[in-house]
Amino acid sequence: MKPWPYPRWVAHRGAGLQAPENTLAAFQLGARHGFRMFECDAKLSADGVVFLLHDATLERTTNGQGLAGDLSWEALSALDAGSWHSPAYASEPLSRLRTVGRWLQSRDLFLNIEIKPTSGFEAETGTQVAREVAQLWADAKLWPFLTSFSPVALEAAARVAPHLPRGLLLNQWDDTVFDAVRAHRHQALICHYALWTPLRLQQAAQQGLWRLSYTVNDPAVADQLWLWGHEAIITDAIDVFDPRR
């Protein structure tokens, strides 16, 4: 297994639950808490712009309505993506990957990009995210780490930019996962923390895979995962964990 080159603690969606997820304000807050690596969700607007949003629809985290991927970036950029969280973040906009990427690079911070395609656009999203990442981070010392629950999106990213490190996300264990990861030369397996057992972690290590968990907010759970063997942990609890440990 190659050594994990990134920080061990990853702030989920920028700042966990402490700021409106996937916005620039969230990354700024996460950095103020000492985090040096962040996770985000990336999808495509109707006109092909890579922007950050977790849900397929807009209602939960913006004042918009409907399927996010149906709107142009011009329409998406006019939405309020902060008021749902708290008045302090009223009018915080959605972020382009380009904007967040430039801000992170200027501060020597790192990124885990989850490719989160609109249904039916898995290959297109994986392709465009990988292209944009390869361009934006062309001169970086350490590229962003691409992950996805969608094998199709991840494989499309691999075809476009095979040099970018990749990991498959799982929310349900599948005993064939190691065959799939090996076949597509992914470098990591990222599971909901409850799916990991010492045996599965050992098997992943034997395959040369980096091992990560999401979303770990309990210190006792984190301690157990470190003891069993983990390269990194993704957390919402940026106010609980010390990312320097």
For 20, counting Cβ atoms within 10 Å of its Cβ (0-12 exposed, 13-18 middle, 19+ buried), the class is buried
Across the chain, where does the E strand assignment appear?
A: 9-11, 37-44, 50-52, 110-115, 145-148, 166-170, 188-192, 210-214, 232-235
Q: How far is it, in rounded angstroms, from Cα 171 to Cα 140?
A: 31
Q: Which of 13, 90, 2, 102 is nearest to 52 (CA)?
A: 13
Please report where in the chains the tokens 């050594």 appear, as a residue. Answer: 3
As a whole number of Å, the CA-based R_g of the chain is 17
Q: Phi/psi of residue 8, each to 5°?
A: -80, -25
Count of residues for the chain? 245
Please report where in the chains the tokens 């990194």 appear, as a residue. Answer: 232
Q: How far is it, in rounded angstroms, from Cα 35 to Cα 15?
A: 9
Please identify which of the residues 12, 85, 186, 230 carries the catalytic annotation: 12
Q: How far is CA 84 from CA 48, 77, 219, 244, in A?
A: 26, 16, 28, 31
Q: Which of 159, 161, 154 is nearest to 140 (CA)?
A: 161
Q: Is 54 a catalytic residue?
A: yes
Catalytic residues: 12, 54
